[in-house]
């Protein structure tokens, strides 16, 4: 009796939404991997890939690039604000974790590239552009006006001789003021500020407006990283998680958009010898 050939593993594995990972990533689990350690997967003939498979891969790649771009910008902007507002370490950490997950997803795509899929430069450019448009305007609109004013004022004080920096700071403050004058945008901005302001008031921590008032009254800035050790600890460990939640809620529409665009990918690899072998396990970091 002829022996039946083993059924190859499915090319895409559905990831539960609770894990917040891409819904259509190739399986890299230990159970699905039977390749010899150190061996290279057999490449696929690109000519045998169907248009649907190629479209699925390109769409998933754009999604991963969008997530990487959004979280990279989130880390950069939140970290810059954290130099004057300790609680902004929360959004920076949340974006950093999202960036870590996006990098893991990109590793899986790179493994598929080794098998025969091609990464197109226009998909990379599209993902970066769309991710930036999703993150930067929203970040700009959700920052409190007092926070923007204080942060830019602190930056100008660090470089007092830079006229271009001063001019840019003034233009940024004016643009932020004009944006918040739009009724809907102003209301959303106010709602985004409520959670952090409420916890600050409860803990007795000075916010940006109180710090600005103290400086304008001729005093020194005693808030932020200049505050007492107890207040700094509360800002980092109690207020920062609240700020992180607000940031993630603001990012949810973009994440939801990505999940709906990608969905559960129906594509399957050609049968027979062109079926790709299981992917090798992700190398452990030393």
Render the chain in DSSP notation, one character per residue: -PPPPPPPPPS-EEPPGGGTS-SEE----TTT--SPTTPPPPPP-GGGS-HHHHHHHHHHHHHHHHHHHHHHHHHHHHHHHHTT-GGGHHHHHHHHHHHHHHHHHHHHHHHHHHHT----HHHHHHHHHHHHHHHHHHHHHHS-HHHHHHHHHHHHHHSTT-HHHHHHHHHHHHHHHHHHTSHHHHHHHHHHHHHHHHHHHHHT---HHHHHHHHHTT----SGGGS-HHHHHHIIIIIHHHHHHHHHHHHHHHHHHHHHHH-S----PPSGGGSPPPPPPPPPP-
User: Residue 135 pLDDT > 50, yes or no?
Assistant: yes
Looking at per-residue pLDDT, the higher value among 37 and 115 belongs to: 115
Instruction: Report how far apart the first and last C-alpha atoms of the chain are (Å, whole number).
Output: 48
Q: How many CB atoms lie within 10 A of CB 31?
A: 8
User: Residue 264 pLDDT > 50, yes or no?
Assistant: no
Q: Tell me what the pLDDT averaged over the chain comes to.
A: 79
pLDDT of 165 reads 85
> Contact 25/13 with Cβ under 8 angstroms?
yes
Looking at per-residue pLDDT, the higher value among 286 and 237 belongs to: 237
Q: Who contacts 159 (Cβ-Cβ below 8 Å, separation ≥6)?
A: 165
**Among the listed ranges 14-28, 32-46, 243-257, 262-276, which one has the minimum average pLDDT value?**
14-28
Residue with tokens 């992180």: 244
**Among the listed ranges 9-23, 248-262, 264-278, which one has the minimum average pLDDT value?**
9-23
User: The whole model's pTM is what?
Assistant: 0.74
Looking at the DSSP bridge assignments, the partners of residue 13 are 25
pLDDT single digits (tens) 159-208? 877 788 888 889 999 999 999 999 898 999 999 999 999 999 999 999 99
pLDDT of 52 reads 84
Looking at the DSSP bridge assignments, the partners of residue 24 are 14
User: Residue 241 pLDDT > 50, yes or no?
Assistant: yes
pLDDT of 281 reads 55
pLDDT of 285 reads 55
Looking at per-residue pLDDT, the higher value among 101 and 234 belongs to: 234
pLDDT of 260 reads 65
Cα 152 to chain center, whole Å?
A: 24
**Among the listed ranges 135-149, 186-200, 231-245, 259-273, which one has the minimum average pLDDT value?**
259-273
Residue 38 Ramachandran class (φ > 0 left, ψ -120 to 50 alpha, else beta): left
Provide, rounded to the nearest whole percent, the portion of the chain with pLDDT above 90.
45
Q: Strand pairing of 13-14 and 24-25? A: antiparallel
User: Residue 284 pLDDT > 90, yes or no?
Assistant: no
Using 50, 70 and 90 to split pLDDT, how confident is the model at 118? confident
Provide, rounded to the nearest whole percent, the portion of the chain with pLDDT above 70.
74
């Amino acid at each position: 009796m002829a022996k039946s050939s083993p059924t190859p593993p499915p090319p895409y594995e559905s990831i539960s939404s609770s894990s917040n990972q891409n819904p259509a990533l190739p399986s890299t689990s230990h159970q699905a991997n039977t390749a010899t350690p150190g061996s290279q997967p057999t490449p696929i003939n690109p000519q045998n890939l169907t248009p649907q498979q190629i479209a699925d891969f390109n769409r998933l790649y754009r999604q991963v690039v969008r997530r990487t771009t959004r979280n990279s910008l989130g880390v950069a902007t939140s970290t810059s604000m954290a130099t004057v507002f300790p609680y902004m370490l929360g959004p920076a950490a949340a974006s950093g974790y999202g960036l870590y997950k996006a990098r893991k997803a990109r590793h899986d795509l790179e493994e598929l590239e080794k098998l025969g899929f091609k990464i197109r430069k226009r998909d990379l450019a599209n993902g970066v552009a769309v991710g930036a448009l999703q993150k930067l305007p929203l970040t700009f609109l959700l920052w409190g006006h007092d926070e923007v004013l204080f942060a830019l004022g602190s930056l100008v004080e660090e470089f007092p001789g830079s006229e271009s920096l001063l001019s840019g700071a003034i233009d940024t403050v004016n643009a932020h003021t004009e944006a918040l004058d739009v009724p809907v945008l102003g209301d959303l901005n106010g709602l985004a500020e409520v959670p952090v302001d409420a916890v600050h008031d409860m803990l007795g921590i000075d916010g940006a407006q109180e710090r600005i008032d103290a400086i304008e009254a001729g005093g020194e800035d005693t808030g932020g990283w200049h505050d007492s050790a107890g207040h700094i600890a509360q800002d980092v460990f109690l207020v920062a998680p609240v700020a992180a939640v607000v940031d993630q809620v603001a990012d949810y529409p973009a994440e939801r958009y990505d999940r709906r665009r990608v969905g559960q990918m129906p594509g399957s690899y050609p049968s027979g010898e062109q079926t790709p072998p299981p992917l090798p396990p992700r190398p452990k970091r030393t």
